[in-house]
Amino acid sequence: METLAHLMTGFGVALQPLSLLMMTLGLLLGLAVGVLPGLGGTAGVALLLPVTVLVPPTVAIIFLAAIYWGALYGGVITSVLFAIPGEPWSVALIFDGYPMAKKGQAGLALAAAFLSSFVGIFVAAIFFVAFAMPLALFALKFGPPEMFGIMLLAFSTFVGLGRGSATKTLVSTCFGLILTMVGLDIVTGHPRLTFGTMAFLSGFHFVPVTIGLFGLGEIMIDGEERFSTEIKEVIHAKLGWQDIKAGFKATKEHFGLTFFSAVLGFFVGILPGTGATPASFLGYGIAKQYSKHPEKYGQGAIEGVLAPQAAANAAGTGALLPMISLGIPGSPTAAVLLAGLYMWGLWPGPRLFIEQPVFVWGLIASLFLSGMVCLLICLLGTPMLASIMRVPWGLLTPTIVIACFIGSYVMRNLMFDVWCTLIFGLVGYVMKKLDYPLAPLAVALVLGGMTERFLRQSLIIGDGSFSVFFSTTISTVFMSIAFFLFLLPAVKLVRDKIKAGNKIAEA
Amino acid sequence: MKKGELITALGFIIISIVTLREAFRLGFGWVEQQGPAAGFTLFWLGLLMLLCSVMILVIGLRKKDDGEPFFVNKQGLWEAVRIFFTAALLTVGIIYTGIYWATLGYCILFTRWLGKHRWRTVILFSVVMTVAVYFGMEKGLQLPLPKSFLYKRGLFPF
């Protein structure tokens, strides 16, 4: 009952004219970001982070979160119509969305994808409301060792559950953590890794580095690949009333699958380091595996559109839960949102629910509203959104690059930050080409300072003994899971080698 | 791809060594009345990164070259280089001429050289972009951006 009262307060905030205006603006920008292949949701949120100093924090978080939802929706259009994923989480949608469009069912595929996105966000928002407060209250019992355990858990999920090389993930994480240590030491005040230069004393700010990694780096890759990727048959976007009705009917018919995918996506999204992309593939894979007619998948099955989209959007919502309740971002975009919170002087976690209830519940209420407004915008404005793709590359790219540089400069009014964006653009380009994951680097950049502080505080409490991390049940559980996840790739490697050895022996 | 993999691993090894050197300089042990020394976290992170980078290097050396080029093709490489080069020029331009003149120059260079647009489009786009940035940032959002020496001498609005 108390939760419901809080939620009503949140709706009161989210329904204010300024909040609604910024939410709609954020959704439109997010949709544009989702449609454009050269700019991701993370870079979009990072780019607009400095702008939020002009509005109150509650409106600012609603605006940034709206960009995030918009980007989640935006990838649908390019995936279905052009078979080009605007965002990585839209890849699974191509498998059946594009064949449907080729069969002349583009409108139905779009309507179904938008409606399932809405179901995904709505179901996840309900779960969010149910879990946010208990999780935050549970976290009230956490001291520095528990908090360090949870930080370690966040990094370990990238290593244990990530799809790429574990060593590269570790390098990426360490690199991000080392970058956060450039500047003055938080405890002793000693300059670290500054090499006697004044510029390094202020350290690396999260935003210019993220804009470089995810913005400029992505633009370079996009520029390089534009000669090798050919746009497949372009299908023009038409979304009539008949399509919307058919979309409703399809979603209703497969509501069980859509709902299940949303629940699955939500829980995948909660895990730090996973996010919407694996959720969408998992949603698609499970839907296909348990389908009565799996042979239809890949040929234009409507279930192949509903399941990944509901899962991806629910995961996007789920990724915000650990961020707001515990201060751990579930995805790189959530990490940028977290950086925004710090920028406005707010500390996520249990105290935020007590000290800033309007902020927290305003954001939660905006989850429901954003889902609805975005659905309306998409259903009405798809042809216009698809036309963004037709803006010439030669005009779009310089616009994005200038936005990247201005976004980094205005954070601290330092040219050093502009140089950071440029250099990290190159770093991001090389790392992405060599499959070094960028998400752990981004998360490490946000959590690095806190992780070090909790580690050192814990060691001081334990008088230098590492046993402090196993002194309470909660921290023991966190540390054990974290170590298990860190060791998981090695266990998998040994298991595969034994299996391969057995096969040779059998042969 | 193999060469790129090895060079990057070497780059990370160098960063790890620099981090470890810094940790040694600052000290990474236990300091009475203070707790872990300033280089404590740096030391463990540097060590872990060094181990992982060496592993990547060794795996890379033992692996046969997959033949896959680092860049998509020559045209792709040239495009990536040109994007970075123009962005670097923009950065230098901001220092010497302020953001608005640099934006104007960058837009002209990019749209003509990389975008291959007609001069009419180039001029129109570059001027509109510069004016939009000025009114959007300086006037609209009241965010002061770097300006040119002409502004400092009171000769031009930016």
pLDDT bucket at B11, cuts 50 / 70 / 90:
very high
Query: pLDDT confidence of A232, banded at 50, 70, 90?
Result: low
B92 touches chain A (CB under 8 A): no
Backbone angles phi, psi at A183, to 5 degrees: 120, -155
- Helix, strand, or coil (residue B26): helix
Residue A446: the pLDDT is: 82
CB contact under 8 A, B41 and A452: yes
In A10-69, the residues whose Cβ lies within 8 Å of chain B are 50-51, 54
Report how far apart the first and last C-alpha atoms of chain A are (Å, whole number).
65
- Indicate if the alpha-carbon torsion angle A315, A319, A321, A326 is positive or negative: positive
Amino acid at A109: A
Q: What is the pLDDT of residues A54-103, one digit of tens each?
A: 788 889 888 988 988 888 787 788 778 777 666 667 778 888 888 888 88
Q: Average the pLDDT over A367-387 and give the result.
A: 81
Can you give chain B as a three-state secondary structure string? CHHHHHHHHHHHHHHHHHHHHHHHHHCCCEECCCEECCCHHHHHHHHHHHHHHHHHHHHHHHCCCCCCCCCCCHHHHHHHHHHHHHHHHHHHHHHHHHHHHHHHHHHHHHHHHHCCCCHHHHHHHHHHHHHHHHHHHHHHCCCCCCCCHHHHCCCCCC
Q: What is the pLDDT of residue A42?
A: 80
Q: A459, A130 in Cβ contact below 8 A?
A: no
Contact status of B130 with chain A (Cβ, < 8 Å): no
pLDDT given at position B7 = 93
Highest mean pLDDT among A259-263, A404-408, B47-51 belongs to: B47-51
Query: For B18-43, how does the pLDDT look when each residue is reduced to its tens digit (9 = 90+)?
Result: 999 999 999 988 888 788 999 999 99
CA torsion through residues A100, A102, A105, A108, sign: positive
Say if residue A327's pLDDT is above 70.
Answer: yes
**Confidence class for position A495, pLDDT limits 50, 70, 90:** confident
Residue among A412, A378, A369 at smallest CA distance from A59: A369
| pLDDT higher than 70, residue A272 | no
What pTM was computed for the model? 0.82
* pLDDT above 90 as % of chain A: 17
Residue-level pLDDT at A32:
83
Instruction: Give the C-alpha separation, A118 to A375, whole Å.
Output: 7
How many whole angstroms from its chain centre is CA A290?
Answer: 28
pLDDT in the model for residue A108 = 86
- Residue A455 pLDDT level (bands cut at 50, 70, 90): very high
**What average pLDDT does this structure show over A205-227?**
84
Interface of A with B in 298-327 (CB under 8 A): none
Q: Average per-residue pLDDT in chain A?
A: 84
Counting Cα atoms < 13 Å in the Cβ hemisphere of A295 gives: 0
- Does the distance separating the beta carbons of A398 and B110 come in below 8 Å? yes
Mutate to test the interface with A, among B16, B41, B65 (most CBs of A within 10 A): B41
Say how far apart CA B102 and CA B10 lie, in whole Å: 35
The residue assigned the tokens 């990474």 is B28
Instruction: Using a CB–CB cutoff of 8 Å, tell me whether B36 touches chain A.
Output: yes
Report d(CA A34, CA A374) in Å as an integer: 13
pLDDT at A352 over 90: no
Cβ <8 Å between B137 and A406: yes
- The residue assigned the tokens 């060791």 is A487
Q: Which has more pLDDT, A88 or A395?
A: A395
- The pLDDT of residue A263 is 92
Per-range mean pLDDT, top range of A290-294, A323-327, A359-363: A359-363
> pLDDT band at residue A1, thresholds of 50, 70 and 90?
low
Task: Identify which of B79, B117, B145 has the shortest CB distance to residue A223.
Answer: B79
Alpha-helix residue ranges (DSSP H) falling in A319-438: 320-325, 332-343, 350-355, 357-387, 393-412, 415-433
Query: Is it the case that residue A302 has pLDDT exceeding 70?
Result: yes
For the cut 80, the answer to whether the pLDDT of residue B70 exceeds it is: no
Which residues does chain A have within 8 Å of residue B16's beta carbon, measured at their own beta carbons? 174
- Token pair in block for residue A432: 């992405």
pLDDT, tens digit (0-9, with 9 covering 90-100), for B111-133: 999 989 999 999 999 999 999 99
**Chain A CA closest to residue B124:** A395
From the list A174, A225, A455, the residue facing B72 with the nearest CB is A225
Amino acid at A88: P
Contacts of A187 in chain B (CB under 8 A): 34-35, 38
Confidence label for A167 from pLDDT (cuts 50, 70 and 90): very high
Average pLDDT of the segment spanning A330-346: 81
What is the rounded average pLDDT of the residues B137-151? Answer: 81
Beta bridge partners of A358: none
Alpha carbon distance A162, A274 (integer Å):
7
Token digits of residue A110: 């779009």
φ and ψ at A123, to 5 degrees?
-60, -45
Evaluate if residue A41 carries a pLDDT over 80.
no
DSSP collapsed to 3 states, A98-161: HHHHHHHHHHHHHHHHHHHHHHHHHHHHHHHHHHHHHHHHHHCCCCHHHHHHHHHHHHHHHHHH
pLDDT of residue A235: 59
Is there a contact between A454 and A155 (Cβ–Cβ < 8 Å)?
A: no
User: What's the token pair of residue A340?
Assistant: 């925004």
pLDDT above 70: residue A228:
no
Look at A419 and A109; give whichever has higher pLDDT: A419
Closest residue of chain B to A224, computed from CA coordinates? B76
Q: Which of A253-257, A445-449, B6-10 has the lowest mean pLDDT?
A: A445-449
Note whether B77 contacts A: Cβ–Cβ < 8 A: yes
Q: Cα–Cα distance between A13 and A381 in angstroms, integer?
A: 27
Q: For residues A153 and A272, is the Cβ–Cβ distance under 8 A?
A: yes
Q: What 8-state DSSP symbol labels residue A24?
A: H
- In Å, how far is B155's CA from the nearest CA of chain A? 23
SS (HEC) of A468-483: HHHCCHHHHHHHHHHH
pLDDT (average), residues A374-392: 77
Q: Bridge-partner residues for A184, per DSSP? A: A191
Contact A111, A91 (CB under 8 A): no
Which of A149, A98, A488, A68 has the alpha carbon at shortest distance from A312?
Answer: A68
A354 CB within 8 Å of a chain B CB = no
* Residue reference for tokens 């980094």: A408
Given a cut of 60, is residue A233 above it in pLDDT?
no
What whole-number distance in Å separates Cα of residue A479 and Cα of residue A151? Answer: 10
Model confidence at A227: pLDDT above 80: no
pLDDT at A231 over 60: no
Please list the residues that pair with A191 across neighbouring strands. Answer: A184
Output the pLDDT for position A389: 66
Q: Which residues of A touch B117 (CB under 8 A)?
A: 392, 394-395
Whether residue B83 lies within 8 A of chain A, CB to CB, comes out as yes
Q: Does B33 touch chain A (CB under 8 A)?
A: no
Q: What is the mean pLDDT of residues A219-248?
A: 72
pLDDT of residue A391: 79
Is the model's pLDDT at B90 over the cut of 90? yes
Q: How would residue B72 be classed by pLDDT, with cut points 50, 70 and 90?
A: low
Burial A145-183 (b: 16+ CB within 10 A, else e): bbbbbbbbbbbbbbbbbbeebbbbbbbbbbbbbbbbbbb
CB < 8 Å to A405, chain B: 87, 90-91, 94, 99
The encoded tokens of residue A363 equal 């954001």
The DSSP letter of residue B65 is P
pLDDT higher than 90, residue A246: no
CA A31-A35-A40 angle, to 5 degrees, is: 85
DSSP string, A231-296: ----------HHHHHHHHHHHHHTHHHHHHHHHHHHHHHHSTTT-HHHHHHHHHHHHHHT-S-GGG
Q: How far apart are CA A75 and CA A216, in angstroms?
A: 20
- The answer on pLDDT for A277 being more than 80 is no
Rounded Cα–Cα distance for residues A136 and A352 (Å):
9
B42 contacts A181? CB cut-off 8 A: yes
Q: What ipTM was predicted for this assembly?
A: 0.92
Dihedrals φ, ψ of A229, to 5°?
A: -90, 125
Q: Does B119 touch chain A (CB under 8 A)?
A: no
Q: What percent of chain B has pLDDT over 90?
A: 59
| CA contacts within 13 A on the Cβ side of A59 | 16
Neighbouring CB atoms inside 10 A of A54's CB total: 12
Distance to chain A for B151, nearest Cα, Å: 18
- Alpha-carbon gap, residue A75 to A37, rounded angstroms: 9
More confidently predicted of B68 and B145? B145
